[in-house]
Amino acid sequence: MTDTAQFTDWLTHDQQQHWRCYLEGNARLWDALARDLESQTDLSLSEYEILVRLSERKNTAMRMSELADELAQSRSRITHTVRRLEERGLVIRSQTPGDGRGVNCTMTPTGRDVLQQAAPIHVASVRTRLVNVITDEELAVLGRMFARLARQDSDEDHHC
């Protein structure tokens, strides 16, 4: 836009092609996963993911900020989603012992039931939509690739 603007380093034809395939495939994959889960359970993907993380902890409890960090979601979003889950009786919130600012989110027995019913459905969906469509080799490449991206981007978050 200005005299000093540099020429843009556009993507090559092949890069662009691959990038677009990812764009479309990714969109369709998420659509499919969300539809699969929501049509057969009462959980959205983000609700499901919260319950899964809780289920992996001692006492099925985590702090709000831990949830936010692990799920790469904003604190605000976690607050809203957890509030809805709490209204439905799937989790309860309580103060953290040590830190007066902290809030602990604990899964209730009802929450566990709902999760246990949803889990097989979601896993089957992930298989059908992704894992069974690509090779284990490819899945491994995918995992390593995105682990690198995540590291890179979350590093940048804490740059200040």
Query: Given the rule CB under 7 A, which residues bind DNA?
Result: 31, 34-35, 38, 44, 46, 63-66, 68, 73-84, 93, 96, 99-103
Residue 24 near which of DNA, a copy of itself, none (CB within 5-8 Å, type-dependent): a copy of itself
Q: Which is nearer to a copy of itself, 38 or 49 (CB)?
A: 49
Is 30:122 a contact under the CB 8 Å cutoff?
no
Residue type for 144, please? R
Cα separation, 63 vs 61, in Å, equals 7
Residue 124 sits at φ, ψ, to 5 deg, of: -60, -40
Among 2, 3, 9, 58, binds a copy of itself (CB under 8 A): 9
Q: Using CB atoms within 10 Å of the CB of residue 151, give its burial: 0 to 12 exposed, 13 to 18 middle, 19+ buried.
A: exposed
Cα separation, 33 vs 55, in Å, equals 20
Q: Which is nearer to a copy of itself, 7 or 97 (CB)?
A: 7
Q: Which residues bind a copy of itself (CB under 8 A)?
A: 1, 5, 8-11, 14-15, 17-29, 31-32, 49, 70-73, 117, 119-120, 123-124, 126-127, 129-131, 133-134, 136, 138-150, 152-154, 156
